[in-house]
Structure 1
């Protein structure tokens, strides 16, 4: 029963259209069948990018012999140093200089040159050779081509829905078999954590049992999706994307009140707002005809970036910084591309020019936002433009906002300058705010999709372009994010980079099928998630066998369910919920839970209302992790230890590390100790049989029944602790008096203290905070 057990997974690059791997980092031989069709995107470009583009790619400053192999025009053009010769000749090996160079035995001719320390494997050479023979056909980048529904693979007894048709094909192609179905209690815990972020109660576990009675697995899924906790779970992801925080960042890092936007996001997910509408309101709710305050509130998405309140700064410099942040958040979080690379120069790998970057920038450049509104002495909880909400709003169209005060609420939102006040957007030389060069109009990258002439040249037009059926990225990116939420890794591993340097999709046909199906069915988020969690792929056991480790250690092909440590917020939620401490209030202002003394004070200017950490009390201490106060200069330390985003920029995914600090935290955190004490006192008063009380605690925390070996170990540990406290009664009080939740004198017993130690050990099991 160790604390944290993880294994370092081996990285595998999955080539998606054939049933074999051919990366240079794997010593696997490649045998080609006569009729295998080789794809530039999925087979050739990864090789060229790894071995050739350093000298023959998009970077003009490092390009040798003026030869480009990353574009069709460059590869088929006459060689500058050898007129009449060509790097590639379609279908003709002997006339293709690339073939001769990569197979040459002359080190002076061989490519890549020996001094580069890059070597093409035999399988890679064979691939390039066959590709040339097949015509050396270049393809547009897969992610910039319109998504179309591929034909469904054949069905079989294992598959439950369309997802399984694609995954089964991949599983079998690798010589693997799908895992058996997970045990009922594993499925109940897994889907509860995935859809609500909360563990199932013993009552829920008993209600659904083995799903053989009147309560089916689908009933469980439907119930979880109708739970308000559903919106809270998804909101954690969207807070990372929208870089939500409760302070301004920079030096003084004062307080701001953006939390009504968080309430709106929870509300939108719970109401199952279609994703296209969800995006439109956030990008341009203020520009909709007769926009109401809810639609305007949604535009706070754009205003969650950092703000300076330092004296002496240049207003225009920071105003430009804010527009850059909006542009980069939109491109990364919604389009899944790294447009920020083109702020200073043309993108080195993707087909985006600096001009196109500033054309995108122009959509966000006409809000009356200021770069500087005054120093901390005049700090306000919202910056211009501001949406004000009074009690009439909060009892009407904004009734979903949890606000108990009678004063007005203020939130930073978007607005648009009048026609006569609109700014001219310029390309900025090297991205510097005071170095304007050529003026540009608002537009979109041609490589993705040109902005149709019938769409407005403002954020509303951008929203329509983003949610157009013709846009190749939006649906793919969101479907991938949902897949990542469930399986830990997206179909495209680089969820924020669908560009040419991003990872190839492991299941490209599945990604496209899901993206098109998502759009065809009204951008329905709950329907998409239900498809995923009711699939046979999802319902597999997470058990690992020797074939998994030998063939697919990273679980790219999904022949088993993943084992994933919970996110920082959900670890807090699990501890509070299983102990009975969780206060399930929905929405409202952020809260300040237990935190080590001095952390804030050591990283502050000493000015403003956030100069000193003032811990909350009462029920506010027991809110979900989503509601923890985020101060940008000092993010919540416990959450950071468990890999949460620090929220200073848009993030579309989190890492999962395994460090001793995590174990140290779980063993000593006041929240964990207090939760253990509270659960111990409640069970101590309700159940008198020692064996039964341990069984009950185990089931509440691990969501299953103990086996006989576990029962023997825990009962022995309980007896040891009971003997210790009975022999040393002076240790009972300091052990139990942790946290602010009240404890009665009658509850300060040796039995309660011993049971508390058992529960602390249960919270420190790997299985407790792992989705299996």
Structure 2
């Protein structure tokens, strides 16, 4: 507010802001902080006598001289003046004059503007002479400031602005041409309707809603375990596209489970209130964190739908707004009825209550990822068959190679884990039973030849040798590799399904080995644990020997040929164990998915993660130390090469060994299969991991005021209720979240429609009519156009809460369609465009910056919904903040079209969100966010220049320039420029880019290595017949265009 004194003083717009800023801290709603008995936040107290004789008053209407408040604020006495000097809240001269003039004019008091029911716009002639009420109100306000609206933006700029605002994507060249060349006056409205009707509208709307709902794909806190909330996100997109009425949209999310006979979608919608952080950390106090979750839900509700900072009343009465601590906990009571725990147990990863996926969605997900795996396997097999003939001829050995070590006597079974053409089997070179892949492991370069990698719900099993007896002497030899130190789970197990007994070799989360024999019938166990951890990122030879005694002293563990000291955890086996019937690699004998026929005892599953295995051998005796030294030195590949006469199996082992270790392309193919298998495992975990939803307890939990907000300091019990200053909670409403939703959407509610309208105005115009969308209270900004805010709120309710109609009304206005050009007068009088004298100019959001590059390059995927994906990201970021052994310890990038999904679907890990989007001001999603900051930093330019996603987009844009942009350099550059900015370049701009192309083409023509490096970035292949140096030069031009400021602006 400027220093000019208005002719007519309005309490809400001129006086209350002064009192709130300078007086309420000591003379406001908070009883505990109040100095003396004076209150200036309520009319009755402000005008009440200050003494028992009723001789003195703080405010006497129309009598400035008798008003004690004036004496105080004008005093020069530091012991008398208000606010006191040490508060640092001294009133400015014009503020003192406003208060005096208000008193002189009668000190008219008004309820806080936001707590009054919104009123429709006036019916005066001036509101109906312009194209819309929006424009009439804006024009009237501008005229009052001696200003007028700006001319309309060009058609190119207008379609670009509209496309990003309604779809989050740039317009295509065809859309631009069709609109620009269409003289029909209704063309713009038809364009609006088209964009509102496209599925990308729902995705664009969901971007802001995910911020508000604090959506993430992980729990947060230290261990930050994965969660499965993407079905809720998918529902949000569908709801926006179906134009679900806003009152229904919010009601389902607040209380869909409480509706009569709630559907799957109604229950799913309540995931909104379970998007908060959840801890799995050992040692936390369960009730402390449960209360934290309820506080989060309460605060999110208030910020998102009331636009109020009620969290200030968590510890004490609100210092500025009429919300008591008691009212805060009455509101808290609505969200305090969930039968939840504060800490989710490890291995469970889902905080109940939760909703499983429907079978149709499960089948769809499985089919999609199975197709990726099968296609990649076929590519591997085709390549291997093509190489087979020539490799056979080169695999002959001379018989002169020296062979180190040997295989000791007593070998019962040897599983080399090498590849066969039948991809679901692994050769057993000694025994009779090949290992069968069940959700099979992935082929990787092994210690010798190939090995297998297990990453959760995948493993291999085989029949146990008939002579393998746990009650007799035996030895197990296995090579194990821990990837990035993250290995955990069961590497090997021998199992009898009927008697439920097992022997296993397990890597604990702290990287020590457990060797166990167990008899589930008697609950008797023998468990030994090594005192030392196993090393990371190298192959480790593990040998376990047993003398047949079933006693701790009869078991020895060797790591890299050295005996290891152990703790005996349990040693109480007293009965013989049945012979194993099945051997498992990668898990003990079950997997998590209870639908799997082999699961039997799924609750006991302990899948191996981040581990690779090779060369499993089983011996019928306890090997000696000399045996183990020889076995550790034995190289089976070297042994095969030394043979003069090789069997077909020998040739096959050598063949796949050479492919894996020497053939770069084959290794690339197998790495891709590995990534798809990881995705397959993740998909199975997603399938069995339900989505968290809301549900109330059978018996209502009592709610108490918490002293200073402390979970363990309950004081007085309170009933469910809402802040009375906003609106009473009618007794006929149900005392639960459904009743709260009914209260929120009552026709006379003063805030709901205003807050929603303001948020969508902010989305379209870049700034809300109330600049503080999360604070409509006394400390919040005043509305720039209060009558416009009220008009839109009333119209929104009258339309049946039709969101598309609301947004259409905004974008159809002349106010929206103005040019963004700022004149000297506007720059001087309204630099922030608060008065709306020019069109909205906004930088693209973090998601739109990336999606724009993907769209104009032709890379973007149009797939709607589904689980989150992991596009390119710098290596090692997740490991830097990883703790323990959670499944999200290491970032595993996706491939194929998942690299090019819209940014809305990028996996969101709370402790380290997508780095490029954070640099472009995306929030961490740890709390409700309804307004992102907008910054301009050097880091953003570095992302655009160096992120593989943008370089790859530039590469494919260059290809489009060459294939679709004509034959001339100028036409190709103009083609890309218009794709990126929605307009044709000027002659000067074009010449600069042509000069750049010519210089770069000369440079790359003389540097083949640099050309190869540039064109190798990204996984999407270029057409093979592209001239490489020329393509590289166009990549640089495309990259330059992508990095222009205009490219990342809406207009």
What does residue 223 of structure 2 align with? 252
CA distance in 2, matches of 1:372, 1:50: 41
CA distance in 2, matches of 1:462, 1:671: 45
What does residue 41 of structure 2 align with? 70
What does residue 6 of structure 1 align with? none
**5+ unaligned residues in a row in structure 1: which ranges?**
1-22
Partner SS state of residue 750, structure 2: coil
Q: Does 1:750 align with 2:1029?
A: yes
Q: How does 1:316-395 map to 2 (within 5 A)?
A: 316-375=287-346, 378-380=347-349, 382-392=350-360
Taking structure 1 as reference, are residues 325 and 108 closer, same or farther at Cα in structure 2, changes over 3 Å only? closer
Partner SS state of residue 831, structure 2: coil
What does residue 30 of structure 1 align with? 5
What does residue 708 of structure 2 align with? 430
What does residue 738 of structure 1 align with? 1017
What does residue 1005 of structure 2 align with? 726
Q: Based on CA coordinates, which of the two structures has the bigger radius of gyration?
A: 2
CA distance in 2, matches of 1:771, 1:158: 30
CA distance in 2, matches of 1:329, 1:114: 37
Q: Does 1:411 align with 2:691?
A: yes
What does residue 234 of structure 1 align with? 205
Output one character per residue of 1:716-752: Cα deviation in whole Å (capped at 9) or x when no partner: 1111111212233332111111111113443251111
- Contact persistence 2:354–2:692 (CA under 8 A): yes
Partner SS state of residue 928, structure 2: coil
From 923, 931, 935, the counterpart of 1:653: 931
Q: How does 1:501-580 map to 2 (within 5 A)?
A: 501-580=779-858
- Contact persistence 1:573–1:625 (CA under 8 A): yes
- Contact persistence 2:127–2:133 (CA under 8 A): no
CA distance in 2, matches of 1:242, 1:629: 16
Partner SS state of residue 998, structure 2: helix
- TM-score by structure 1 length? 0.91
What does residue 673 of structure 1 align with? 951
Output one character per residue of 1:254-306: Cα deviation in whole Å (capped at 9) or x when no partner: 11110000000000000000000001100110110111111000000011111
Taking structure 1 as reference, are residues 153 and 197 closer, same or farther at Cα in structure 2, changes over 3 Å only? farther
Q: Does 1:45 align with 2:16?
A: yes
- Contact persistence 1:302–1:413 (CA under 8 A): yes
Q: Does 1:633 align with 2:602?
A: no
What does residue 462 of structure 1 align with? 740
Partner SS state of residue 1025, structure 2: helix
Partner SS state of residue 813, structure 2: coil
Taking structure 1 as reference, are residues 642 and 154 closer, same or farther at Cα in structure 2, changes over 3 Å only? farther
Taking structure 1 as reference, are residues 771 and 316 closer, same or farther at Cα in structure 2, changes over 3 Å only? same
Output one character per residue of 1:626-662: Cα deviation in whole Å (capped at 9) or x when no partner: 0110001111111110110111111111000111101
The root-mean-square deviation of aligned C-alpha atoms, in Å, is 2.3
Q: Does 1:193 align with 2:164?
A: yes
| Aligned-residue offset at 1:98 | 2.3
Q: How does 1:51-90 map to 2 (within 5 A)?
A: 51-60=22-31, 63-80=34-51, 84-90=55-61
Aligned positions, number = 735
What does residue 130 of structure 1 align with? 101
| Aligned-residue offset at 1:83 | 6.1
- Contact persistence 1:331–1:338 (CA under 8 A): yes
Partner SS state of residue 678, structure 1: helix
CA distance in 2, matches of 1:214, 1:61: 63
| Aligned-residue offset at 1:113 | 5.2
Taking structure 1 as reference, are residues 268 and 360 closer, same or farther at Cα in structure 2, changes over 3 Å only? same
CA distance in 1, matches of 2:287, 2:369: 36
Taking structure 1 as reference, are residues 731 and 361 closer, same or farther at Cα in structure 2, changes over 3 Å only? same
Q: How does 1:169-184 map to 2 (within 5 A)?
A: 169-184=140-155
CA distance in 1, matches of 2:158, 2:237: 25
CA distance in 1, matches of 2:147, 2:781: 23
More divergent stretch after superposition (81-90 vs 279-288) = 81-90
Output one character per residue of 1:64-114: Cα deviation in whole Å (capped at 9) or x when no partner: 454322322332222259961111112222221223444456676554456
CA distance in 2, matches of 1:627, 1:321: 28
Taking structure 1 as reference, are residues 163 and 82 closer, same or farther at Cα in structure 2, changes over 3 Å only? same
- Contact persistence 1:198–1:570 (CA under 8 A): yes
Q: How does 1:604-623 map to 2 (within 5 A)?
A: 604-623=882-901
CA distance in 2, matches of 1:581, 1:553: 38
| Aligned-residue offset at 1:566 | 0.7
| Aligned-residue offset at 1:153 | 5.4
Partner SS state of residue 67, structure 1: coil
Q: Does 1:445 align with 2:723?
A: yes
Taking structure 1 as reference, are residues 368 and 748 closer, same or farther at Cα in structure 2, changes over 3 Å only? farther
- Contact persistence 1:65–1:80 (CA under 8 A): no
What does residue 376 of structure 2 align with? none
| Aligned-residue offset at 1:130 | 2.4
Taking structure 1 as reference, are residues 690 and 153 closer, same or farther at Cα in structure 2, changes over 3 Å only? farther
What does residue 99 of structure 1 align with? 70
What does residue 1050 of structure 2 align with? 771
What does residue 20 of structure 1 align with? none
Output one character per residue of 1:143-176: Cα deviation in whole Å (capped at 9) or x when no partner: 1111121315544899321111111111111111
| Aligned-residue offset at 1:711 | 1.3
From 897, 914, 920, the counterpart of 1:642: 920
More divergent stretch after superposition (147-156 vs 278-287) = 147-156
Taking structure 1 as reference, are residues 435 and 697 closer, same or farther at Cα in structure 2, changes over 3 Å only? same
CA distance in 1, matches of 2:142, 2:210: 34
Partner SS state of residue 885, structure 2: coil
More divergent stretch after superposition (219-228 vs 718-727) = 718-727
| Aligned-residue offset at 1:61 | 5.6
| Aligned-residue offset at 1:322 | 1.1
More strand by share: 2
CA distance in 2, matches of 1:119, 1:133: 22
| Aligned-residue offset at 1:50 | 3.2
- Contact persistence 1:566–1:770 (CA under 8 A): yes
| Aligned-residue offset at 1:393 | 7.2
CA distance in 2, matches of 1:322, 1:112: 39
CA distance in 1, matches of 2:809, 2:13: 27
| Aligned-residue offset at 1:450 | 0.8
Q: Does 1:165 align with 2:136?
A: yes
Partner SS state of residue 439, structure 1: strand
CA distance in 1, matches of 2:292, 2:215: 17
CA distance in 1, matches of 2:352, 2:30: 41
What does residue 500 of structure 1 align with? 778
CA distance in 2, matches of 1:582, 1:155: 47
- Contact persistence 2:129–2:136 (CA under 8 A): no
More divergent stretch after superposition (449-458 vs 86-95) = 86-95
Partner SS state of residue 330, structure 1: helix
- Contact persistence 1:402–1:588 (CA under 8 A): no
Output one character per residue of 1:401-454: Cα deviation in whole Å (capped at 9) or x when no partner: 999979556211111212xx3211111111111222111111111111111111
**5+ unaligned residues in a row in structure 2: which ranges?**
372-682
